[in-house]
Structure 1
Amino acid sequence: MKRTLSIVYFLLLSSLVLAQKTAPVYLFAYFKDNGQDGLHLAYSNDGYQYQSLKGDSSFLKPTAGKDRLMRDPCIIRGADGKFHMVWTVSWNEKSIGYASSEDLIHWSEQQTIPVMEHEPDARNCWAPELLYDSRTKDYMIYWATTIKGKFPETQDKAENAYNHRMYYVTTKDFKTYTPAKLLYEPGFNVIDATIQTDGQQYVMFLKDETRTPPQKNLRVAFSKTSTGPYTKASPPITGNYWAEGPTVAKVDGQWVVYFDKYTEHTYGAVASKDLQTWTDISDKIRFPKGTRHGTVLTISPAELAKLKR
């Protein structure tokens, strides 16, 4: 009997060790301050408690754009196995930054992609994100831009009169890009969209940026294709505080949306199993001090070990 129990214990312990070696690691890419020092990374084994890597110093210094900032970094693993990253290069330029990497340590030469240079009245390109669409074999880059004179029905003098909508381009090789098109017009000032796949549908998490009367909350919309059309935005999924910069992970079988509670200088999170009913789990999460708008992806334990070295 003792021998049998010892064998069972050994098998359970071996399974636990194997699971720890193969279970995906959550990696969070973010910026600090104004984004002047570049890319910061943190990791988590459970999706709740994140620890900074490299002593919370930068993994990549920004060189793209006139202002050379690296705000709102978004990293995905592409169909080619490489990591692809886009980011905000400036508060008021018409371009975004792009670079790729095999290991998240050594990066390609940084590119400045002039996605809105054709729009004379475009004021900015904020918080770009990436999605690889396995149906079309395209990468979609999408971001928020204010174009002067467009959508006057939601124009507000507050906050420097920004009045954003979501736009996008697609590419197969990050060398040539389709012309920019309108991605989402929800009937209000919208920024910080991030798109996830859920079976046969696409789920867009977004920020209602309305200032008067203030909304500043996160909402959800759905589509059958990555480029839309997307449904009317849901009621707010966040609470009585200002939230922005949503990013999404699957943790313990549920959707977890992390976001920047930027007026409170901290991070929050909500969770859902059905994308309809949301629970605030902000008390369960921890991020490095000073974390700003970022994105989450999963990497292998071996890739994390390289980052730690």
Structure 2
Amino acid sequence: MNRTVRKLLALLGPLLLVLLGGAVFEGTASAAAPPAGQATRYTMTAFTNSSESNLYVYDSPDATGFALQKGPAYTPPSGLIRDPSIFKHTDGYYYLTYTTNWTGNTIGFARSTDRVNWTFLYNYTIPISGLTRTWAPEWFIDTDGSVNVIVSLTAASTATHFTAYKITATNAALTTWSAPTQLSGIGPNYIDTFIVKVGSTYHAFTKNETTKYIEYATASSLTGPYTLRKTGDWAGFGDWVEGPALVQLDNGGWRIHYDGYRAGKYWYSDSYDNFATWSAPTEVPGLSGFIRHATVLKETVPGGVTLPTNATRSLRSVNYPDRYAVARSDSLGYIDPVSTSSSAAVKQSATFTVVPGLADANCYSFRDSSGRYLRHWDFRVRFDSSNGTDTFKKDATYCARPGSASGSVRLESYNYPGRYIRHYNYSLRVDPYQNTDTFRADSSFTVVSPWA
């Protein structure tokens, strides 16, 4: 939220408090994040700059910080494994489809029970005469349950004039497929088409192979006709980019990961307005410069971090265990030393009531003894009374992720996914995730018995 709007909300806040007669204690919010005992898991499959013949598998609780699960996790019996796309089928298996070679007319299939150990199934020949290149197959599961693969095909003698086609599985075993159908309106010379469906509209993100931009089209049918809505550098992704892959975040936003192959970077960006605008591209921490053309699968799985709600607790720093999150007299958040010899006021400043998240009841908010909530403002942690706005509720909501030490927690911003509460020079901030041990420790806290 920009400063002008935030200042307006800040001015309205005190007026609301006067009208309501005191601190605003929020009611129960709706929930999009998984409930207690469950967690979101994002699985990424990719090939790498160092090998086109090996699959690497990563996972993440937040679609930002990915940890290697296995690499190489799969090597096909022959050919390549470029552009690996993953989904979980109704039979309980995970399936891959992938590009088998720079030239030819086949795509590959493999499956797994655990995402990290894969078995080759078969190479499938696309039944179109004269194909010279068959690239970037992507799974698309429609709302009717049909299993589709979107694939880029050309019969040209060079890597040009690609067109998007779809094939649909005609049996549950995914061994027989319909005749290919062209996606009308996408092409010629568009590749790496990735589709998501929102409501009754199909949204296609596809690389213009002539201009090297990722462009955007919509249709009311999977096979089109598609209408190009945004072209050129409409989203700020830049040029010489490819391999768009979208996944929905727990807060309802959409994240695109894509390959800045010419610069040797891997990026992500978020949208919250039905794909109209996007956040500034951010490099995928720890993986940018190594992975190529990935896809991301979102699942809800057992596990996660659960905090007690409607209970008072203190937040102890993992790497400075004599320091605790506090609200100082300037209303800003810090980690300060607290001990049995500390004054009652200091102990009270380090004590908070954990409540269901104001913006999502399956996340958390933290309220001090005066009724103020821990929230971020220009990415600095501070404590303010609620003004009842949606912006405030989101600023004051944090989703629990596993911390760097056993039993610890990291608190991810609800409205800025990928940013975490962390201390820096003992000040509490909401900073972008960094793939370093220092950041992971700085952003980890142990929830302990309250000081007051």
TM exceeds 0.5? yes
Matches of residues 232-251 of structure 1 in structure 2 within 5 Å? Answer: 232-235=228-231, 236-251=234-249
SS of residue paired to 2:282: helix
Displacement after TM superposition at 1:166 (Å):
0.6
- Rounded to whole Å, the distance in 2 between the matches of 1:290 and 1:278 is 27
CA, structure 1 residues 79+225, in 2 after alignment: closer, same or farther (shift >3 Å)? farther
Asked if the contact 1:245–1:259 (Cα under 8 Å) also holds between the matched residues in 2, the reply is yes
CA, structure 1 residues 228+40, in 2 after alignment: closer, same or farther (shift >3 Å)? same
| Higher RCO structure, 1 or 2 (CA under 8 Å, sep 6+) | 1
1:141 maps to 2:140:
no
CA, structure 1 residues 35+238, in 2 after alignment: closer, same or farther (shift >3 Å)? farther
SS of residue paired to 1:125: strand
Counterpart in the other structure of 2:226? 230
1:119 maps to 2:92:
no
Counterpart in the other structure of 2:84? 73
Counterpart in the other structure of 1:163? 161
Q: Note the aligned Cα RMSD (angstroms).
A: 2.4
1:58 maps to 2:56:
no
Runs of 4 or more off by more than 4 Å in structure 1? 18-21, 300-304
Matches of residues 249-260 of structure 1 in structure 2 within 5 Å? Answer: 249-251=247-249, 252-260=251-259
CA, structure 1 residues 276+32, in 2 after alignment: closer, same or farther (shift >3 Å)? closer
Counterpart in the other structure of 2:407? none
Number of positions where the alignment pairs a residue of Structure 1 with one of Structure 2: 265
Post-superposition CA distance 1:10-43 (Å, at most 9, x none): xxxxxxxx95741211111100136444211112
- Rounded to whole Å, the distance in 1 between the matches of 2:303 and 2:35 is 16
Displacement after TM superposition at 1:102 (Å):
2.3
SS of residue paired to 2:72: coil
- Rounded to whole Å, the distance in 1 between the matches of 2:193 and 2:95 is 18
Structure 1 gaps of 5+ residues are 1-17, 150-159, 305-309
Displacement after TM superposition at 1:184 (Å):
3.9
TM-score normalised to the size of structure 2? 0.54
Paired letter, 1:71 = R
Which of 135, 139, 154 is residue 130 of structure 1 equivalent to?
139
Paired letter, 1:169 = I
Counterpart in the other structure of 2:317? none
Asked if the contact 1:28–1:296 (Cα under 8 Å) also holds between the matched residues in 2, the reply is yes
Counterpart in the other structure of 1:88? 99
Asked if the contact 1:143–1:193 (Cα under 8 Å) also holds between the matched residues in 2, the reply is yes
Paired letter, 1:216 = K
TM-score normalised to the size of structure 1? 0.78
Asked if the contact 2:163–2:187 (Cα under 8 Å) also holds between the matched residues in 1, the reply is no
Which stretch shows the higher mean deviation, 181-190 or 194-203? 181-190
Counterpart in the other structure of 2:212? 216
Identity in percent: 26
Post-superposition CA distance 1:153-207 (Å, at most 9, x none): xxxxxxx452211112111332221112212443441000111121222211111
- Rounded to whole Å, the distance in 2 between the matches of 1:109 and 1:285 is 29
Post-superposition CA distance 1:228-267 (Å, at most 9, x none): 2222242332443321000011123211111001111111
Counterpart in the other structure of 2:59? 43
CA, structure 1 residues 22+303, in 2 after alignment: closer, same or farther (shift >3 Å)? closer
Question: Greater share of strand residues, 1 or 2?
Answer: 2
- Rounded to whole Å, the distance in 2 between the matches of 1:43 and 1:229 is 35
Asked if the contact 1:217–1:238 (Cα under 8 Å) also holds between the matched residues in 2, the reply is no
CA, structure 1 residues 142+39, in 2 after alignment: closer, same or farther (shift >3 Å)? same
Asked if the contact 1:258–1:269 (Cα under 8 Å) also holds between the matched residues in 2, the reply is yes
Structure 2 gaps of 5+ residues are 1-33, 305-452
- Rounded to whole Å, the distance in 1 between the matches of 2:37 and 2:147 is 31
Asked if the contact 2:69–2:116 (Cα under 8 Å) also holds between the matched residues in 1, the reply is no
Asked if the contact 2:236–2:281 (Cα under 8 Å) also holds between the matched residues in 1, the reply is no
Displacement after TM superposition at 1:109 (Å):
3.3
